[in-house]
Amino acid sequence: MNAFWHVAVALLCCGALSLVFPVALSPQLAAVILLGALAPFCAAALAYLTLPEQSRILGAIIAAIAVILFVLLLKPRHRGVTHSLLALLVFSAVVFALTRSQPLAIYGGAAFLSHLIADAELKLA
């Protein structure tokens, strides 16, 4: 599945979620949904878009280092550990840790889940 369809599926899932769990549309929400749909471990971009302005650069640097270490140490393959329910929980926890926003963590998790479903890759770990 290509990026367009991943985003389309994520928007549909999050739109359905908004009927049950309404949230105000914001740049942060859009960023979390797009990152959950396209690149679940792009924590550097997430940090830059969601942290307060005075923390953005430091947060992005820390997140970028974490992503680099993850890739270098674990060497995940596409549709490997990054396409699991464990990764979904980690992504949601990172979103919550960076934003302190439960709605953003829930919507990020929904977008991430939509990616797993769209790829038909749903594993526990």
Q: Do the Cβ atoms of 115 and 10 come closer than 8 Å?
A: yes
Whether the CB-CB separation of 75 and 24 falls below 8 Å is answered with no
Q: Kindly report the three-state secondary structure assignment for every residue of 1-27.
A: CCHHHHHHHHHHHHHHHHHHCCCCCCH
* Bridge partners, residue 93, by sequence: none
pLDDT of residue 97: 81
pLDDT in tens, the chain (125 residues): 677 888 888 889 999 999 999 999 887 788 788 878 876 555 545 555 556 666 666 666 666 666 666 666 666 555 666 778 888 888 888 888 877 889 988 998 999 898 888 877 555 54
| Boundaries of every domain in the chain | 3-118
Nearest to residue 111, comparing CAs of 65, 42, 51, 53?
42
Whole-number pLDDT of residue 36 = 82
- The pTM (predicted TM-score) of the whole model is 0.68
